[in-house]
Structure 1
Amino acid sequence: MIIESNKSVERNYSEDYNVLLLGLDHYYHDEVTISLKGVEHKIVKIWPEFTCIDFSSNIFNGDIPDAIGDLRTLYLLNLSHNALTGAIPRSLGALPDLGALDLSVNRIGGRIPEELARLTFLSFLNVSNNALVGGIPNGRQFQTFSLNSFKGNKGLCGFPLDRNCSSAPPPPSTGKGIAPSKSKDKEIKWEYVFAALGYAVGSGSIFWTLLCCRRVREPYFEKIEEVVQDIFDRRARRRREANRRRRLQMRNEFRRQQRSW
């Protein structure tokens, strides 16, 4: 987690608003130790305002709490590369200073709240690789975001995606990101059911005919006996032919030895 104050802070943002450098010029008597991705940092003041939160690349799961909308001065929120589910909180639309939001690579489902389209300060958005559905909201800021901000959501439609919401309506959302894929796994594959049913009906019909119809059963088994007998006869003829060639070869070999003596 990264926290900052409005005083004595040097900001240096990267192109995607993912880097924030902090500098301190004053000394405070209060102290707190924060572990930032395995590295401990001692901060001499607990800042009263949180403007940047980065919880990316962890193993957080569950829903994003609505209480995050109470952080009125929040500017950057990065929860990407986790296992978060549920829906995007509508309370995010109540953050007037929110300029960068990254929720990519999670299991978030549901629709993109219309409230996000009303944020005029939002300059970076990434909700790719989730399970979002429905149309992308229309808004002045949303029209500036590229395809990469929304890709990886099979249920999304609308600009800038190439899927039209009127021609391809999205599947209904259950509020959980992984629920649609689970429901698909539980669907019955009827083609396999019909194939198995046809095989069972065909086999049962043949068995019933042979069992109950003597006029069909006798010629059927006679034909099977002829086929089996023919197979054994061919094997016997091949065996006799092989023995005859072997005896002929031994006789010729014996005659050659006699001539050599």
Structure 2
Amino acid sequence: MKIISENSGTRKYVADRYFIFYSNTLIVTTKGLDLELPRVLTTEVIINLSRNRFEGYLPSIIGDLVGLRTLNLSHNGLEGVIPESLHQLSILESLDFSSNKIGGEIPQQLVSLTSLEVLNLSHNYLVGCIPKGKQFDTFDNSLYLGNDGLRGLPLSKDWGGDDGVPQATTPVELDDEEEDEGDLISWQAVLMGFGCGLDSSLKCRW
């Protein structure tokens, strides 16, 4: 937090003026780790509002925070869709929207976030294809868990198809007549093959 100096009009951190009463040591969760910051870092712009009871939609104005490096809004009750404006956060390194009620598709524009090292979108209501390219090709399927409507790599590795379409894993059941007919055809093929082989063998001997 900053205050405006009465004399110079410049903004200074609260801790610089009230350092006796104000502790600027804090623990933040960034890049999947809990880190203790001994002081406020002007180079590390972090928003961590996780594990609250926030509701409503994700505002597109988040995309205007171009200096943001970490955004953690996990474990809330947020709804709506992921704003496309997030692609403007060019130096964003960690993004965590897990355990909310966010729906819609993952914006393809997020592929442009080449500084993104950690992403967690698990346990939401996301649907559609997972974006391809750049950083998204390095993420594993754990960050998409709990979104039954998502498809595509890397989820398709578990689904069995490159296009994310589930492959049939159970055989089709046949009725008794079809089974008997299938067995008859199979035996006919075996006998025909055996007969051809025997005939060729006899010709070779003669």
TM over 0.5: same fold?
yes
Given candidates 83, 87, 91, the residue that maps to 2:85 is 91
Question: Where do 1:73-112 residues align within 5 Å?
Answer: 73-112=67-106
Per the TM alignment, residue 11 of structure 1 is displaced from its structure 2 partner at its CA by 11
Per the TM alignment, residue 49 of structure 1 is displaced from its structure 2 partner at its CA by 7.7
4+ long deviations beyond 2 Å: 9-24, 47-50, 162-169
C-alpha offsets along residues 149-200 of structure 1, whole Å, 9 cap, x if unaligned?
A: 111100000111034584649xxxxxxxxxxxxxxxxxxxxxxxxxxxxxxx
Question: Is residue 82–residue 105 contact of structure 1 (8 Å, CA) maintained in 2?
Answer: yes
Per the TM alignment, residue 15 of structure 1 is displaced from its structure 2 partner at its CA by 8.2
Question: Is residue 50–residue 71 contact of structure 1 (8 Å, CA) maintained in 2?
Answer: no
Question: Is residue 157–residue 165 contact of structure 1 (8 Å, CA) maintained in 2?
Answer: no
Alpha-carbon distance between aligned partners in 2 of 1:12 and 1:48, rounded to the nearest angstrom: 16
Question: Is residue 30–residue 94 contact of structure 2 (8 Å, CA) maintained in 1?
Answer: no
Alpha-carbon distance between aligned partners in 1 of 2:52 and 2:74, rounded to the nearest angstrom: 8
Call closer, same or farther: CA 1:165–1:156 in 2, change over 3 Å.
Answer: farther
Question: Where do 1:123-134 residues align within 5 Å?
Answer: 123-134=117-128
Rg larger for: 1
Alpha-carbon distance between aligned partners in 2 of 1:54 and 1:61, rounded to the nearest angstrom: 15
Question: Is residue 111–residue 136 contact of structure 2 (8 Å, CA) maintained in 1?
Answer: yes
Q: Which residue of 2 aligns with 1:72?
A: 66
Per the TM alignment, residue 115 of structure 1 is displaced from its structure 2 partner at its CA by 1.2
> What number of residue pairs does the alignment pair up?
143
The code of the aligned residue for 1:19 comes to D
Per the TM alignment, residue 13 of structure 1 is displaced from its structure 2 partner at its CA by 8.3
The code of the aligned residue for 1:83 comes to G
Call closer, same or farther: CA 1:132–1:50 in 2, change over 3 Å.
Answer: same
Question: Is residue 134–residue 165 contact of structure 1 (8 Å, CA) maintained in 2?
Answer: no
Q: Which has the higher helix share?
A: 1
Unaligned runs of 5+ in 1: 25-42, 170-261
Say what the alpha-carbon RMSD is for the aligned residues.
3.3
Alpha-carbon distance between aligned partners in 1 of 2:104 and 2:66, rounded to the nearest angstrom: 24
Per the TM alignment, residue 23 of structure 1 is displaced from its structure 2 partner at its CA by 2.7
Question: Is residue 122–residue 142 contact of structure 2 (8 Å, CA) maintained in 1?
Answer: yes
C-alpha offsets along residues 43-80 of structure 1, whole Å, 9 cap, x if unaligned?
A: 8xxx8887111111111111111111111110000011
Question: Where do 1:1-261 residues align within 5 Å?
Answer: 16-24=31-39, 51-162=45-156, 163=159, 164=161, 166=163, 168=165
Alpha-carbon distance between aligned partners in 1 of 2:91 and 2:143, rounded to the nearest angstrom: 20
Alpha-carbon distance between aligned partners in 1 of 2:25 and 2:72, rounded to the nearest angstrom: 20
Per the TM alignment, residue 21 of structure 1 is displaced from its structure 2 partner at its CA by 2.5
Taking structure 2 as the reference length, what is the TM-score of the superposition? 0.60
Identity of aligned residues (%): 44
Unaligned runs of 5+ in 2: 2-12, 14-23, 167-206
The code of the aligned residue for 1:132 comes to L
Q: Which residue of 2 aligns with 1:245?
A: none
Alpha-carbon distance between aligned partners in 2 of 1:135 and 1:128, rounded to the nearest angstrom: 15
Per the TM alignment, residue 82 of structure 1 is displaced from its structure 2 partner at its CA by 0.6
Q: Classify the secondary structure of the residue corresponding to 1:116.
A: helix
Range 9-18 or range 66-75, more displaced: 9-18
Call closer, same or farther: CA 1:56–1:111 in 2, change over 3 Å.
Answer: same
Alpha-carbon distance between aligned partners in 1 of 2:70 and 2:54, rounded to the nearest angstrom: 18
